[in-house]
Chains A and B, each alone.
Chain A
């Protein structure tokens, strides 16, 4: 990795008694789309505010392009923020909102006009340049906020749930626009969301947070397919967790008996679970053949839910209960509640998590 755009080391933040961040180490590369994901109150906004300079860390270091900035005020940092509430200046029209940063940087007025015009073109709002923010729809305000930040060509753009206030349709459209924009301008994005789908589809890398700690950092694929902790596994998507005990570097024992191959080299202390995604599990009738090398356990359908494109099964096994998703495709068998059957999966699909 080249020199990090933003690097946090050992960053903690206390608000009186409340410990909002317990020690964050994180390096975000230049041009990266990095998402912070986690439940409400886990410290996402606090992390962003520390990077922006609205709060100062209790301890630790924050470097921006190699320069220590932990205690610098926001106006000294080459960073801009898109606020969750947009925070557009209500007493200024769109044009003056967008031009504010350049005006503060004492850019000459001709250049301000050109660059503001270009920024408004980019977010397709040139025709509303004279409108006041409260005359615009939520989606338009969002785009003004984006233009207001991007027009300054910051090295890093911070976005705190920028799409949180939009309805689903607009949200999905803006997700695509944002991602395209980020690739086009090549600015580092640090994106806060608690929408896991948004994080998975947009990010180059994701950091999952809980209770002021950064639990795992990885590509969307790594986070989804190889969670390292029970929390990360559980937080993202549907997953079944089977209690297991480690018996050898390559094997774990299910709680109902029977050994299953699994990579246990990274297993820490504590209780262990085998995490299995619903779509990586297969159901066949009890007598059917299962390919060689696959893990199989017998089970019984407790519940079946129809989802249109798929069926969702809740299967009771000796090792615990499993959520299974089966595509709704002509020719594939379906199973009624109460049916005895066989569940199987590729051992590579399971990940060992610790809690």
Chain B
């Protein structure tokens, strides 16, 4: 009989070595996530059960749910509701703009496609804050619309510091996050299925509704999440373009950590938002798994 190439059991050692190498590759990311995500999250979590002293100091001396109770305040409800609507409308508008555009890109020749994708990503090359301040000028009374209305002898028209300005800013900022996943989904689509639908007497629009749309659902969901989640808690855009009149979630939380000196409340609100997002993600994964 031939001698085996290696002793029994050695393959286990080889597999273990392989796993160790894999772990080493992931190590920098693990460390990063622990230091910059897990630890801060833990601090926020603990703080949310802390107590605010009369002077505004955060006391960790007892377990308190008072911050969570405070969340039931109608003012918080109004702010959450307003933020939810802004995020929903932002997502819907992004979807409406991005789908046709992503469809257009995905159906071009590869060279044109790449050029268009670069165009989508160009805004990322400059600073988000700078771009948002640019909008402040465009939407303000010194901007094109303002100047035009003034020249017509009217009161200069100004969108700045209105909810519409926040919406424009958010749509502008997050549109690429909607375009890219949609593009990826549409680009992956098997066009023969659309042809098959046309072959089976569906007109162009029906084929789109019955085949293209359901088969690009994963892109719609991914893009919507990527836009909705950051819009919901957005701080920079509402702060710069909204003028801080109608309070939104982001500003409210920032205020709790700053002027209001109520870290437990800010933390509790952050935790609740995170929990809601997590549940939404889980529901999405459940329904997505069945599709893929």
Cβ–Cβ contact B201 & A105, under 8 A? yes
Cβ–Cβ contact A89 & B201, under 8 A? no
CB distance from B221 to the nearest CB of A (A): 14
Interfacial chain A residues near B198, Cβ < 8 Å: 53-54, 73-75
Question: Does A80 count as interface, using CB distance less than 8 angstroms?
Answer: yes
The docked-state distance in angstroms from the alpha carbon of A89 to that of B206 is 14
The docked-state distance in angstroms from the alpha carbon of A304 to that of B226 is 71
Cβ–Cβ contact A74 & B193, under 8 A? no
A70-91 to B contact mask, C-beta < 8 Å, 1/0: 0001110001110101011111
The docked-state distance in angstroms from the alpha carbon of A104 to that of B206 is 9
Interfacial chain B residues near A88, Cβ < 8 Å: 196
CB distance from A160 to the nearest CB of B (A): 10
Interfacial chain B residues near A105, Cβ < 8 Å: 201
Cβ–Cβ contact A75 & B203, under 8 A? yes
Question: Does A152 count as interface, using CB distance less than 8 angstroms?
Answer: yes
Question: Does A143 count as interface, using CB distance less than 8 angstroms?
Answer: no
The docked-state distance in angstroms from the alpha carbon of A87 to that of B210 is 14
CB distance from B266 to the nearest CB of A (A): 44
Other-chain residue from B195, B206, B214 in contact with A87 (beta carbon distance below 8 A) = B195
Other-chain residue from B195, B196, B201, B291 in contact with A152 (beta carbon distance below 8 A) = B201
8 residue pairs of the A-B complex, CB under 8 angstroms, read: A52-B199, A54-B195, A74-B198, A81-B196, A81-B199, A83-B195, A89-B210, A148-B200
The docked-state distance in angstroms from the alpha carbon of A52 to that of B203 is 14
Other-chain residue from B190, B192, B199, B291 in contact with A74 (beta carbon distance below 8 A) = B199
In A265-322, which residues have CB < 8 Å from any B CB? none
The docked-state distance in angstroms from the alpha carbon of A81 to that of B280 is 42
Interfacial chain A residues near B201, Cβ < 8 Å: 75, 101, 104-105, 152
Interfacial chain A residues near B236, Cβ < 8 Å: none
Question: Does B197 count as interface, using CB distance less than 8 angstroms?
Answer: yes
Nearest 10 Cβ contacts at the A-B interface: A101-B200, A104-B201, A87-B196, A74-B198, A87-B192, A75-B201, A81-B199, A104-B202, A100-B200, A74-B199
Question: Does B254 count as interface, using CB distance less than 8 angstroms?
Answer: no
The docked-state distance in angstroms from the alpha carbon of A89 to that of B201 is 15
Closest A residue, CB atoms, query B214: A91
CB distance from B214 to the nearest CB of A (A): 5
Cβ–Cβ contact B200 & A104, under 8 A? yes
In B201-254, which residues have CB < 8 Å from any A CB? 201-204, 206, 210-211, 214-215
Interfacial chain A residues near B199, Cβ < 8 Å: 52, 54, 74-75, 79-81
Given contacts A75-B199, A100-B197, A104-B201, 11 further A-B pairs with CB under 8 A are A54-B198, A54-B199, A74-B195, A74-B198, A81-B199, A83-B196, A88-B196, A100-B210, A105-B201, A148-B200, A152-B201
Q: Which of A101, A104, A152 counts the most B-chain CB atoms under 10 A from its CB?
A: A104
Cβ–Cβ contact B202 & A75, under 8 A? yes
In A45-86, which residues have CB < 8 Å from any B CB? 52-54, 73-75, 79-81, 83, 85
Interfacial chain A residues near B195, Cβ < 8 Å: 54, 74, 81, 83, 87
The docked-state distance in angstroms from the alpha carbon of A54 to that of B197 is 11
Cβ–Cβ contact B196 & A89, under 8 A? yes
CB distance from B232 to the nearest CB of A (A): 30
Cβ–Cβ contact A89 & B202, under 8 A? no
Interfacial chain B residues near A148, Cβ < 8 Å: 200
The docked-state distance in angstroms from the alpha carbon of A52 to that of B192 is 13
CB distance from A92 to the nearest CB of B (A): 9
